[in-house]
Chain A
Amino acid sequence: MPSANLLGQSLLSGILAGGLYALLGLGLSLSWRFLRIINLSHFGFIFLGAYLTYQVATSFHLSPFAVMLAIVPLLFALGVAQQALFVRFAVNEFGSLLVTFGMVAIIESLIQYFWTADFRRLESGYGTLSYRIGPLFLPVAEALTFLVAVVLGLAAWAALRFTYLGKAMRASAEDPAMAAAFGVRERSLALLVAGTSAATAGIAGTFVALTATLAPAQIYAWIGVIFAVVIMGGLGNPLGILAAGLLIGVSEALTMALTSPSWAPLVSFTLLIAVLILRPGRV
């Protein structure tokens, strides 16, 4: 039986990992629900953001957060352009899975071309910084990631619930023709959703650069667990994503502490299957 300290530390890192999961999954969930696009290239966008953060911050000795401010509009534009392509070629939900799978592969090749397959690590000073709280260590970069995940999740929730644009998105997802009859411009709204979703990938990328070692193949490492978080949280439900991220993050961390690290990947999928069986109709 591990010590109370170890358990406490596992719980903390599980909570923080949950924040990262929610941050990575938020945009995926929004475009799945509101655009009916299952966007695997979201993971490519995240790593594009991460590598750009790494490169620009390293080359120009800038704060990664300053770089992030430039990455956000860049990825917004990329998301808009991508959605325009999806509309132009009338890509449906299933088709989007295939098309965006191809797009991740392209992004991976580009990253490999520019940055090689070597591991890259952003030396920002945040990576090793941590505070001591009693017997526990709070890593600063992970804690910031968690904070940003919560802030973005709450902002997305509030926007969907309290703004006319958010309500129009929900209405349009339910009945596009009726939404159009009441004046919703579905196409421009879709571009906004796509841009916002890609922008969150850019933000997530900066935090991936802060907290992880980068390699092109790592793009695929997150896909399984993030799909579990997104589906479990409920499509287009930012608070659900936060909850599911925490649940999976904590379960994984406790599994690692109590059994062995090799069992951790099983946790997310076991939980996902359990949720799908107990509450079908979530996708």
Chain B
Amino acid sequence: MHVAYGDAPALRGVSLRVGPGELVSVVGPNGAGKTTLVNAILRLLPIRQGTVRLGGEDVTSADARAMRLRGVALIPEGRRLFATMSVEENLEMGCYPPSARRYRDEGIARVYAMFPRLKERYRQQAGTLSGGEQQMVAIGRAMMARPRLLLIDEPSLGLAPAIVEQVFETIRAIHADGLSILLIEQNAARALAIAARGYVLEDGRVVAEGPARALMAEPQIRAAYLGEGDAADPREGGER
């Protein structure tokens, strides 16, 4: 797909795929277009050119609500909870469309079982929670209505290392339940460690892709994203 902000292109022909039950990571530096990619998939941004398919169905002309109804859920960069609403109201927004409301009780029970801390604070305003607790609400909100594809944008951003550990553990557990996940991260080492496949995005283009293990072994990628060796340009070695 191609996506632009006005005249400024942000994605220049990015192509990627998440298989059923697969966990795929997209890594890349700040400003590479990772958030743009997620927003375009969700149709929060218009796609200039290209197609989006979901389980064989062409959904290029769908809008954000239609994507939601088809089971695509988002854990956005920076959590973006509805700050003045309570924890439980935020979760309820996760099953807002009428056809999803039957999952309300089951979903809330599942989220509270996963994060007992949230059950204690169900009436608290989401904006007053700690960063880690907010991330739990953001995960719970996305999980409410049995999604089939989960888009996760920089879940480790701004969280303490111990909390990051917990968040990745949760993602791994959710994935083990069979959910398809597209995981966006700047923290490439972490993201590739739990992914089957990965893509490296730079300046709106995919500069490398392949099995996560193979990507992690690439010297250029190790140098640029995993903080090892001297900073070679990863583009030269990327399998494009």
Contacts and interface: CB of A to CB of B under 8 A. Distances in A.
Nearest to B127: A174
A182 B84 CA distance: 17
B54 interface: no
Contact of A170 (B39, B74, B82, B94): B82
A181 B42 CA distance: 7
Interface-centre pick from A167, A168, A170, A181 (highest chain B CB count, 10 A): A181
Interface string A168-194: 101100110111111111000000000
Contact of A174 (B82, B100, B101): B82
B44 interface: yes
Contacts of B84: 170, 174
A171 B92 CA distance: 11
Contacts of B117: none
B85 A171 contact: yes
Interface-centre pick from A167, A180, A182, A185 (highest chain B CB count, 10 A): A182
Contact of B96 (A164, A174, A175, A177): A164
Contacts of B83: 174
A86 B101 CA distance: 32
B222 interface: no
B76 A178 contact: yes
B93 interface: yes
Nearest to B85: A170
A241 B42 CA distance: 38
Contacts of A183: 64-65, 68-69, 96-97, 100
Contacts of A171: 82, 85, 93
19 contacts: A170-B84, A170-B85, A171-B85, A174-B84, A175-B82, A177-B39, A178-B76, A180-B44, A180-B65, A181-B42, A181-B44, A181-B68, A181-B76, A182-B74, A182-B141, A183-B68, A183-B69, A184-B65, A185-B65
